[in-house]
Each structure stands twice: as C-alpha cells, then as structure tokens.
C-alpha cells in the first residue's frame, strides 16, 4: 500500500479530510523521529515500540583494497511489534 492509499483509508475511518489526515501522519512521524533521536523509546501499546539502538564502532575490511577501515558508532531504529499485533498477523 502506498502513502496516498494509506491516507485515503485512514481519512475515511477517522472522518477527517485527506489534508488533515496527511498532516497528522506527518506530525506522528516527526514526533517519533524526534523522540528516538533523543535516545528515548516510543511505545504504542496495541501496535509496538520504536527504540533507538546503538551500533558500536567496528573495524571492517574494504573488499577491493583489503584495507582496514574504522566504521564510527551510530544510532539505528529498531521496531518491536506488540503481542497483539503479532497474534493478529498470525490469525490467532
């Protein structure tokens, strides 16, 4: 499902016009992004949790030159679905 179709379905279900629904989705994504960037977790109880994960620095080999390179530490995003969502997907 693409973004346009997602907005159409959601706007019908909540009774808002497509522009407002689009703005709500944009703000939701922005809040999640800002919160995770500050290294805090976002939990949506019936959906799942978004949590920042730190990747430590590591040494890798460049495939063509064979030189060792240092990859700096970085922050990545992890998502863990809720039990309710997992069961719904499994059809339980």
Query: Does the 44-92 domain belong in CATH 4.10.520.10?
Result: yes
State the span(s) of the chain assigned CATH 4.10.520.10.
44-92
- The residue count of the chain comes to 92
Q: Considering the entire predicted model, what is its pTM?
A: 0.74
pLDDT above 90: residue 42: yes
pLDDT digits (tens, 9 = 90+) for 70-82: 999 998 999 999 9
């Amino acid at each position: 499902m693409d973004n346009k179709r997602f907005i159409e379905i959601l706007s019908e279900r909540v009774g808002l016009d497509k522009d407002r629904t689009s703005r709500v989705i944009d703000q939701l994504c922005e809040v999640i992004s800002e919160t995770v960037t500050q290294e805090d977790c976002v939990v949506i109880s019936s959906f799942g949790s978004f949590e920042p994960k730190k990747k430590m620095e590591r040494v890798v080999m460049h495939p063509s030159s064979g030189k060792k390179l240092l990859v700096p530490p970085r922050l990545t995003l992890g998502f863990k679905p809720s039990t309710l969502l997992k069961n719904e997907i499994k059809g339980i």
